[in-house]
Amino acid sequence: MSGIIGHTMYAILGAKAAQQRRLSIAPLIQRHWASYLAGSYLGCDIQTMPEAVCVDTGREVGYGTVPLETSPLTGGKVRPYYFAMGGRQYRPNEIHQLFYGRSHLTFGWSRDQQDLTLPWDHLPDYCEAVVEDALTLFGPGERPLAYVLGWMTHLVGDGLIKSIAPGVTLHLLDGQYTPRNRPIQDLVTFHEVGRKELQVDWPALLTDLSETPVEAIQLHYMRVTAPRGRLARDFPDGWMPAKEELLQAVLQENRRYLRIYKDYVLKEMELQRSGQSWQCNAELCRATGGLSYAQMVAAAEKADFRQALWQIGEAVGTLLAEASQLMPKLHPMPAVGEPSWAELGARWKRS
């Protein structure tokens, strides 16, 4: 299952909500669009790596930690994938255990790190400290901040859709976010909402996103580096600098595999015309209990899926507004806007 479609959409909607509120960070998000979107996925989901290798073709397949019995390419055998680093080999699940809670903060910590779970209502404080450090320690460039803002959209999106926090009222088929309804959420987000309504060019967007560089600030907000800045002052516990080199390599691996994996996702989302109707991927159809694409769209309509997307976009907008309030004292924006081309013409062009 993809995950990347939902999170990219939450970030797109959050950016729209930020624009509507005329937040000072809204133009900054537009200036660093690909890094903002990369933050909204790779900023959190560090298990973006192969799960297995297809024995027949030798190609890497699957998505880290999601069990895979047979090759999705040939139906043949697979062998487990190992991430090699510093003379050691790690299964994606071990990487998940080590780092997943550190990027998601409010859930997903392994048992031995449980005590680091951040209460949901402390999330704005944590984000505020990271935003301040993005400007003071990682500035004056804006790209780290755009990446951090993207990461924040993932925290909100995951928290709401996975019911860690209240705010989304969705009952689609059999619940809010279930193995049966995930394919519906992905397909409807991809085609009906994304492609048709918002004019999203998914192949271009996912390619740009996967080509963005690793941001050093990710090691900082995951506390896998030497403690410093306001984050270290406000959240002195849980820093793990000894794993910095490993996480750095994992973040590189995430980008490397996303370039391959995004094509699997795009393929999986494809619809085939059959007569008057559209058929989706057989595996996804099976996961929903055999619904046709038209039935999936109808189920999403009935559950008012767009209302849930609106709720998430609005919640993201609220968190971005809180981050925006920090800007005046840390990174003053010019009081008068930048001159337009017409204004420059009036000043510069000889009549």
* Residue ranges that bind Zn ion, judged by CB under 5 A: 44-45, 158
In whole angstroms, the minimum distance from the beta carbon of 164 to Zn ion comes to: 11
In whole angstroms, the minimum distance from the beta carbon of 55 to Zn ion comes to: 30
Q: 273-290 burial, b if ≥16 CB within 10 A, otherwise e?
A: eeeeebebbeebbebbee
| Closest to Zn ion by CB, 44 or 303 | 44
Rounded to the nearest angstrom, the gap between the alpha carbon of residue 201 and the centroid of all alpha carbons in its chain is 17
Distance CA 287, CA 111 (A): 30
Order of strands across the sheet that contains 60-61: 60-61, 52-54, 78-80
Q: What is the DSSP letter of 344?
A: H
Tokens standing for 315? 């919640």
Tokens standing for 281? 């991927």
Distance CA 181, CA 161 (A): 12
| Closest to Zn ion by CB, 11 or 296 | 11
Distance CA 275, CA 292 (A): 13
| Closest to Zn ion by CB, 44 or 131 | 44
| Closest to Zn ion by CB, 103 or 181 | 103
**Inter-residue contact 249 to 85 (CB < 8 Å):** yes
Closest CA to 128 of 25, 36, 45, 226: 25
| Closest to Zn ion by CB, 19 or 65 | 65
Closest CA to 328 of 108, 112, 25: 25
| Closest to Zn ion by CB, 71 or 185 | 185
In whole angstroms, the minimum distance from the beta carbon of 103 to Zn ion comes to: 8
CA atoms 157, 163, 165, 167: torsion sign: positive
Tokens standing for 61? 């397949």
Q: 221-244 burial, b if ≥16 CB within 10 A, otherwise e?
A: bbbbbebebebbeebeebbbeebe
| Closest to Zn ion by CB, 65 or 248 | 65
In whole angstroms, the minimum distance from the beta carbon of 218 to Zn ion comes to: 14
Q: Is 90 strand, coil or helix?
A: strand
In whole angstroms, the minimum distance from the beta carbon of 180 to Zn ion comes to: 20
In whole angstroms, the minimum distance from the beta carbon of 191 to Zn ion comes to: 23
In whole angstroms, the minimum distance from the beta carbon of 45 to Zn ion comes to: 5
What size, in residues, is the chain?
351
Q: Is 249 strand, coil or helix?
A: helix
Residue type at position 87: G
| Closest to Zn ion by CB, 45 or 253 | 45
In whole angstroms, the minimum distance from the beta carbon of 74 to Zn ion comes to: 30
Q: Is 239 left (phi over 0), alpha (psi -120 to 50) or beta?
A: beta
| Closest to Zn ion by CB, 40 or 212 | 40
In whole angstroms, the minimum distance from the beta carbon of 109 to Zn ion comes to: 13
